[in-house]
Amino acid sequence: MKTKIAVFASGTGSNFKALVQGDTGDGEIKLLLTDNKDAGALALAETLGIEAFYKYPGKFKTKFSVKEEQNWVDFLIKKNIQLICLAGLMRIIKGPLLEEFQGRILNIHPSLLPSFPGLDGAGQAFRYGVKIAGCTVHYVDKGTDTGPIIFQEAVQVLDTDNRDSLAARILKKEHELFSKAVKAHCSGRAVYSMVNR
Ligand code: GAR
């Protein structure tokens, strides 16, 4: 039996597309949910033939209201979703979603965590002047970009780079890394664990 996956995306949705088209092994992308009516991911879902919904997240900008987060949970349970992939969700998950799906929420982030968590990880790395940047797929816990790491991939910063060229190369790596991590989780090779933390 395939693991049923919901992808959450607030923006363009290129990672969502890469998950749908990539090799996720025993994982199957069933659903796209967005907190942004204008998300490009919604149009992408239509062309990819994936069921997609905008769901109201509450009145806050960077988190869910508890009531709405519970609504998202109820919806996911109704749809028999077993795993959530955050593919550019610009909102913190702390309450009911984390309780219901602990150890079953994966996030992709455009930096080598624990460096440069939060907004614009690629830009933060570029402005800091690191020579090796990259991306991370990790399990979500109650911190911001702090959960157990599944995979990371390094990206060399070139002398000719600006913020956007670096972010574009990182994004390309993200597209490979996310499917690989989903595949590892769905086959039991990646497990949420507090060991070594
Ligand atoms: C990606 O770079 C993803 O790592 C980042 O948002 C972008 C979404 O792009 N996520 C975060 O920064 C979360 N902290 P996409 O919509 O094209 O997949």
Q: Residues 62-71, buried b or exposed e (16+ Cβ, 10 A)?
A: eebeeebbbb
Task: Calculate how far, in angstroms, residue 164's C-alpha sits from the geometric centre of ligand 1.
Answer: 13
Amino acid identity for residue 180 in this structure: K
Residue 8 and residue 64 in contact, taking contact as beta carbons nearer than 8 Å: no
Residue 15 Cβ inside 6 Å of ligand 1? The answer reads yes
Which residue has the least CA distance to atom 3 on ligand 1? 88
**154 token code pair:** 């390094």
Residue 91 and residue 10 in contact, taking contact as beta carbons nearer than 8 Å: yes
Domain positions in the chain: 3-186
Q: What are phi and psi of 120, to 5 degrees?
A: 50, 55
Please report the pLDDT score of residue 162 as a whole number: 98
pLDDT tens, residue by residue, 166-190: 999 999 999 999 999 999 999 999 9
Helix (H) or strand (E) holding 124: helix 121-128
pTM, whole model, 2 decimals? 0.96
Q: Which parts of the chain have pLDDT scores under 70? A: 194-197
CATH number of 3-186: 3.40.50.170
Residue 29 and residue 50 in contact, taking contact as beta carbons nearer than 8 Å: yes
Which residue has the least CA distance to atom 4 on ligand 1? 109
Residue 121 Cβ inside 6 Å of ligand 1? The answer reads yes
Please report the pLDDT score of residue 197 as a whole number: 53
Count of other CB atoms within 10 angstroms of residue 40: 18
Please report the pLDDT score of residue 44 as a whole number: 98
Q: Which atom of ligand 1 is nearest to the CA of 41?
A: 16
